[in-house]
A and B are shown apart, each in its own frame.
Chain A
Amino acid sequence: MVKSYILKKSIKDFLERTPKTIKYSIKSIPTALERLKSRVTTFSGGLTITCIFILFIVPVFTNNPFYLGIFMMACIYSIYAASWDFMTGYTGLVSFGHAIFLGLSGYAASAALRFMGFNWLSALLFGGIISVIIGVIVALPSLRLKGPYLALTLLSISMIFWSLFMMGQLSPWLWGSEGISRVKPLSSDPIIEYLVIFIIMLLSLGVMKALGNAKFGKILNSIRDDETGAEASGINTSKYKILAFMISAFFAGIAGGLFAMHNRGVDPGRFQPLYSFYPIIMVAVGGLASISGGALGAFIFIFVNEVLIEIAPWAPMFVFSIILMLIIRFADRGIMKPAIERLKDLWDLLIGK
């Protein structure tokens, strides 16, 4: 926490000095680099950089669309899980209906690509914006709800969308139970597609992490920990809750748009509770209230899922529901954080600290 603060401060210093004089800024580059270097040489920073580097060079090893597809799905789910974590872990608004955003933005992006002739980037942003609008609409009635009630209300709203999009009578407007198919892919080359998704993932996670570590994130944490206290100290909790909803909805929307482009289409099944369940288990694996935990959890989830599909095609969700129950029952800090701490102890031992 302290180290990320130092990094942030260095970046902030750097940005503040730049407009003043180039001289100062040139002087400050080495210190910023120094700080960045000291950050990278810490254990968690080094691990992050290594992971990012490994993910970046994945296309060197394989250009098989199937394997790259797995990595793409993992990247997309990282954004999705992190957006869930931003809402639940940081702000304490438990959502069992994140599939609302995933599905709606998927529909918006697919419709934009297929029927309105958008290019992929604008379709993605369009999906995100639609998702934000829905986020605000959903947030307004649920502002006075807390914890389980909010969770159940969002679950019910996702069920409403599921049945609305399934409905035959509305199919001229909402495309019925078939959904939208034959959506233009992001790029015909899987390597380019993977890299674009990867960069979008890095940007999204970075923005969410930065927001979570900034004063904004601290305010959200205070709402999570003690809403009355936060209100008493002059924080407009409604405003910040809506903002948290909007940010979470936006990134879930980005994930939904990418998901639709990657799958070449959407169907009403995207709204089912299953897709609201995915981010919960990813974040539970990775640890609540840390964006990187959710992202890591998503990768583990996808890889384990693929392995399970290979060895026992009927089992994945069954196994995952058991895993989630066990995690909540026995290790509610998640399993990645303690594991990484153990790894760090081992590392310290190895380099003789």
Chain B
Amino acid sequence: MVEAQIMEVLVYGTIQGGIFALLAMGFSLVFGVGGILNQAHGAFYAITGYLVFWIHDPGSLMAGVDSSKFYWAMVFALVVVTFVGGLVYLGLIKPVQDHEINVVIITFSLAFFFEQAVIMIFGSIGKSIPSVPGNQDVLGIAIPWQHIIALIGSLIVIFSVILFINKVKIGNQIRAVSQDREVAQLMGINVNRVLMYTIMLSAFLAAIAGLLYIPTGDLAPHMGWGVLTRSFAIVVLGGLGSIGGSVIGSFILGYAGNFVGVFIGQNWAGLVPTILIVVMLIVRPRGLFGKKEVR
């Protein structure tokens, strides 16, 4: 019995860790490059789900489509959210980016804007989007296919992002700006454009996380806040601005959350991120792998 529970913690912890890693990587990248804590990060995750729901919902523009078109709906949501990220940077963050408090307040109200828009259009009752049917036995536990796809998809995306950051020119520019903004500017890098690409990348990652993971559960307007808290917890845990740290932190949070959920109670799992934040801030404020202190 206990073995089965431990296996459950391991399996679901890995799956959630992968999803958290997608979310936290984007959050951490934007912080590392621009010093921006994007409060609307969770909102990007939530609106992806609602875009898919909107397209798939009976009575909307793509009602009753067959499943091959449903994947096009996902691609559409992905593209829209990515461009919304770019627009948010150009229209809202860029003009005020010299005052970090204004950036925080403006993205905070943006998160509210998305939440309220979603409540206005779809109502505050939870919805759901279709998932891949069927279960698969892994290590003695029946796991829904959607979870397996979420894990595989997130691992693929994590590795491609790490490759992207290290090998592609834009990725190198992102790294350069995050290491030293002024020198990067002197080397002829357009810092603002790099920041825009970073925010688009982070919105893209949040959208992928939404596409992979929202089908496993509910879709509710306020879910963005939980995502934001978790991303922040992971980034504090792994060290601000450290990609590797945030990936490892995500898996730690995934296992810790599932451990608490299985052995103590599902309700308590939601408290793990915040307790982690507070404990980390007291014990080791620069995170496990961080170079900079959280200040």
Q: List chain A positions with a Cβ less than 8 A from chain B.
A: 94, 96, 141-142, 144-149, 151-153, 155-157, 159-160, 163-164, 166-169, 272-274, 277, 280-281, 284, 314-315, 317-318, 320-322, 324-325, 328-329, 332
Quick check: is B117 within 8 A (CB to CB) of the other chain?
yes
Query: Nearest Cβ in chain A — how far from B240, in angstroms?
Result: 9
B83: Cβ under 8 A from any A Cβ: no
Residues of A within 8 A of B213 (CB): none
Residue in B closest to A152 when the chains form the complex, CB atoms: B232
- A279 → B minimal CB distance (Å): 11
Across the interface, which residues of B come within 8 angstroms of A159, CB to CB? Answer: 225-226, 229, 274
Q: Report B-chain residues with C-beta under 8 Å of the C-beta of A167.
A: 267-268
Query: How far, in angstroms, from A235 to B295 measured CA to CA in the complex?
Result: 19
Nearest neighbor of B293 in chain A, beta-carbon distance: A144
Interface membership of B1, Cβ < 8 A: no
B-side contacts of A169, CB under 8 Å: 265, 267
Q: Is the CB of A329 within 8 A of B92?
A: yes
Min CB–CB distance A26 → chain B (angstroms):
50
Q: How far is the CB of B55 from chain A (nearest CB, A)?
A: 22
Complex CA distance for A167 and B233, rounded to whole angstroms: 21
Question: Which residues of B have CB within 8 Å of A141?
Answer: 278, 281-282
Supposing A94-B101, A94-B104, A152-B232 touch, asked if A318 and B281 sit within 8 A by C-beta, the answer is no
Interface residues of B (CB under 8 A from A): 37, 39, 92, 95-96, 99-106, 108-110, 112-113, 116-117, 119-120, 222, 225-226, 228-229, 232-233, 265, 267-268, 270-271, 273-275, 277-278, 281-282, 285, 294-295
List, sorted by A's number, 13 A–B pairs whose CB atoms are closer than 8 Å.
A96-B39, A96-B104, A141-B281, A144-B295, A149-B295, A160-B271, A280-B109, A315-B120, A325-B113, A328-B105, A328-B106, A329-B106, A332-B96
Docked complex Cα distance between A284 and B285 (Å)? 31
Neighbour of B110 across the interface among A148, A153, A155, A321, CB < 8 A: A321
CA distance A328 to B99 in the complex (A): 10
Given B109, B116, B273, which contacts A156 in the complex, CB threshold below 8 Å?
B273
**Interchain CA distance A320-B110 in the complex, whole Å:** 11
Q: In whole angstroms, how far apart are the Cα atoms of A163 and B261 in the complex? A: 14
Q: How far in angstroms is the closest Cβ of chain B from A134?
A: 13
Flag if A149 contacts B116 (CB, 8 Å): no
Interface centre among A145, A273, A324 (most CB of B within 10 A): A273
CB distance from B130 to the nearest CB of A (A): 27
Q: Which of A144, A320, A324 contacts B105 (CB 8 A)?
A: A324
Question: When the two chains form their complex, are residues A281 and B281 in contact, meaning their CB atoms are under 8 A apart?
Answer: no
**Which residue on B lies nearest to A281, using beta carbons?**
B109
Known contacts A147-B104, A321-B109; is-contact A163 B96 (Cβ 8 Å): no
Known: A145-B294, A152-B232. A328 touches B285 (CB 8 A): no
* Bound-complex Cα distance A147 to B108 (A): 13
Would A96 and B267 count as touching, CB distance under 8 A?
no
B229 near A332: Cβ-Cβ < 8 Å: no
Chain A residues in 8 Å Cβ range of B270: 163
Name B112's closest neighbour in chain A (CB-CB).
A321
When A and B form their complex, which 8 residue pairs have the shortest distance between CB atoms, in order from nearest? A318-B116, A321-B113, A321-B112, A324-B109, A148-B37, A156-B274, A160-B274, A148-B104
Which of chain A's residues have a CB closer than 8 A to the CB of B232?
152, 156
On chain A, the residues within 8 Å of B100 by CB distance are 147-148
Q: Which residues of B contact A144 (CB under 8 A)?
A: 281, 285, 294-295
B264 to A, closest residue via Cβ: A169
* B285: chain A residues within 8 A (beta carbon): 144
Minimum CB–CB distance for B181 against chain A, Å: 17
Judging by beta carbons under 8 Å apart, are B120 and A152 in contact? no
Smallest CB–CB gap between A320 and chain B, Å? 8
Chain A: minimal CB distance from B257 (Å): 13
Say whether, besides A147-B104, A169-B265, A332-B99, A325 and B281 are in contact (CB < 8 Å).
no
* CB-CB nearest in chain B for A318: B116
Residues on the B chain within 8 Å of A318, using CB: 113, 116-117, 120
Tell me the bound Cα distance from A329 to B39 in angstroms: 16
Contact B120 A277 (CB under 8 A): no
Chain A residues near B294 (CB, 8 Å)?
144-145, 149
List A contacts of B96 (CB < 8 A).
328-329, 332
Is A277 touching B99 in the complex (CB atoms < 8 A)? no
- B-side contacts of A147, CB under 8 Å: 100-101, 104
Residue of A141, A149, A329 ringed by the most chain B CB atoms within 10 A: A149
Q: Determine the chain A residues whose CB is within 8 A of the CB of B282 once the complex forms.
A: 141
Q: How far is the CA of A32 from the CA of B144 in the complex (A)?
A: 78
Given contacts A156-B233, A157-B278, A329-B96, contact A321 B267 (CB under 8 A): no
Residues from chain B with a CB closer than 8 A to the CB of A284 are 105
Report the bound CA distance from A155 to B95 in whole Å: 25
Residues B274 and A328 in contact, CB atoms below 8 Å apart: no
The answer to whether B116 and A317 touch across the interface, beta carbons within 8 angstroms, is yes
